[in-house]
Structure formats: C-alpha cells, structure tokens
C-alpha cells in the first residue's frame, strides 16, 4: 500500500479545521492532479440525520458529507483534479479507522470511492495524532499506511 503524500502544510490546515469544528467532527477532502494540492472543507451534515448507518450517534462519533458538497465530491472524479484523500476528526483524541468509518468507506466489497482516508485525533486543547488509511485489495480491508504523533497544544 502506498500512501498518498500529504504535505505538512496541508496537514496543518486540516488540524486547524478540526480545531474550529471541535467538539464536532470536521470532514473534508484533499484533491489534486497527481499530488494533492487543494483542501476542500465540508460541513458535517451528520446532525441532519443523513448518516447512512448510525443516525442516532452524535457528531463526536460520526461524520457525513451531504447535499451539494457530496455532489461536488463525486463529480471531482471526472475532473483533472479528483478527490484523493477524505479526512475527518475524532474528538476522543485518537486516530483510528472505526467500525463506522469502515462501513461508510466500504461498498460492495471495495472502497466506496477511490480515496484514502486521514483521521485526526484531537482533544479540546491538543491535536494528539493523525493516521492515514488505504484500501488493501489483497486483505480486503483498510490498512494504516502512515501515522503522525503530534501532541501539539494550542
């Protein structure tokens, strides 16, 4: 599994988005022609009850991109600058691919979209860690391909 390289600059912008959304989860994606070079912040529509698997869970444990933002995301795959990495935050401070994350990211035995995932774990005061996950066709599962311990207080 080769991880899509995410520059420190883009990661810093994702961390800033996660902090702005706290105590809710943030979500968005990175797009680019080869390397990712653009961040698209999305609104976490989970509070609207749109979540496909767990409508009763709060924003600290689920996220969903919906409406016009989901359409723009889906259309990006037909452009020269497709979405390549979807990101979201966990407000329990831990970066892992949860059972719900796996559910949403997987469809018909493969990835729902041709993207990797970045999860940021933060608390009210600190970005603790981040981890990146990619679909492993042989394992038929999402595997961790990169990890950043951060512990950066604001």
* Site residues (vs Zn ion, CB under 5 A): 98, 101
Q: Would you say 35 or 143 has its CB closer to Zn ion?
A: 143
Residue with tokens 């604001």: 154
**What is the nearest approach in angstroms of Zn ion to the Cβ of residue 119?**
6
**What is the nearest approach in angstroms of Zn ion to the Cβ of residue 33?**
27
Map residue 88 onto helix, strand or coil. Answer: strand
Which letter, b or e, does each residue of 98-136 get, where b requires 16 or more Cβ atoms within 10 Å of its Cβ? eebbeebbeeeeebebebbbbbbbbeeeebbbbbbbbbe
Q: Would you say 98 or 123 has its CB closer to Zn ion?
A: 98
Half-sphere exposure of 130 (CA within 13 A, CB side): 24
Residue number closest to Zn ion, CB atom: 101
Q: Would you say 70 or 78 has its CB closer to Zn ion?
A: 70
**What is the nearest approach in angstroms of Zn ion to the Cβ of residue 97?**
7
């Amino acid at each position: 599994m080769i991880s899509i390289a995410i520059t420190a600059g883009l990661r810093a912008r994702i961390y800033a988005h996660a902090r702005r959304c706290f105590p809710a989860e943030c979500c968005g994606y990175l797009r680019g022609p080869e390397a990712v070079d653009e961040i698209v912040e999305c609104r976490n529509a989970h509070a609207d009850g749109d979540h496909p698997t767990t409508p009763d869970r709060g924003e600290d444990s689920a996220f969903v991109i919906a409406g016009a933002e989901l359409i723009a995301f889906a259309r990006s795959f037909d452009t020269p600058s497709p979405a390549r990495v979807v990101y979201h935050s966990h407000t329990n401070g831990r970066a892992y691919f949860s059972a719900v994350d796996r559910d949403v990211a997987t469809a018909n035995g493969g990835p729902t979209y041709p993207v990797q995932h970045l999860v940021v774990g933060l608390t009210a005061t600190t970005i603790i860690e981040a981890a990146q996950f990619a679909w492993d066709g042989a394992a038929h599962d999402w595997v961790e391909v990169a990890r950043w311990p951060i512990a950066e207080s604001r």
